[in-house]
Amino acid sequence: MRNLVKKHALQNTCSPAFTCRATSPTANPAIPLNNQEDNLQILEHLPVFIYLLTKDYTLSYVNHAFRKEFGIPDQFTRCYSILRKSNEPCNPCPAMDVFSDNKERVWQWQDTLRGNMYQVHDIPYGNIEETARVLGVGINLTRIAHTEKKREQYFSANDFLRICCYCNKIHNKSGEWQRVEAYFSEEQNIRFSHSICPQCMHTHYPDIM
């Protein structure tokens, strides 16, 4: 999805309970309606919440993650009634903007009802005629941040020393990534002097060996 989006800043406030920052990317091909049943089965098992929205704000499909997060809608449920407990749609509505120009929108929603921040991708689904719908993909940013915090607390409580598997930098107590030499110099007062081990000497300087 990262390749589909080219962000341009566009900020708006929909209501006290619904603050969104929408991006208007360049046009992208709509997702085809072929093999719908297979597609929906895949969506049903994703950890992010998914919905299909029609032009009259009704939800023609929601996946398991959506139902767990917001409840179970029926065929007459409007998105704003289940998401925001409101009787009126958002103004402006990023999803309706997708119907107007067939371009993806990426926006953030501060849900004051549940205390969560979400990032939502609204994507054209199908054609631009009467059967057109918007495919919404929502990520709970608050849950991700909470999980990362618990992970940090776990490593801290269990005296794990985290080291990057690529550059070998060490994650220090301040949350910064340091070179190995700098970390041990500060934490253990160890001084380093560079040398070459026999194996590296043989690899890089075979003539000397």
pLDDT at 14: 42
pLDDT at 34: 56
pLDDT at 10: 31
CATH of 2-145, one of 3.40.50.620, 3.90.79.10, 3.30.450.20, 3.40.50.720: 3.30.450.20
pLDDT at 32: 52
Cis peptide, bond prior to residue 92, ω within 30 of zero = yes
**pTM above threshold 0.75:** no
Q: Average pLDDT by consecutive 10-residue portion of the chain (209 residues)?
A: 33 40 47 61 87 92 93 92 93 90 92 92 76 88 85 66 86 84 80 82 81
Q: How far apart are CA 117 and CA 57, in angstroms?
A: 22
Where are the CATH 3.30.450.20 domain residues in the chain? 2-145
pLDDT at 1: 38
Cβ–Cβ under 8 Å, residues 154 and 162: no
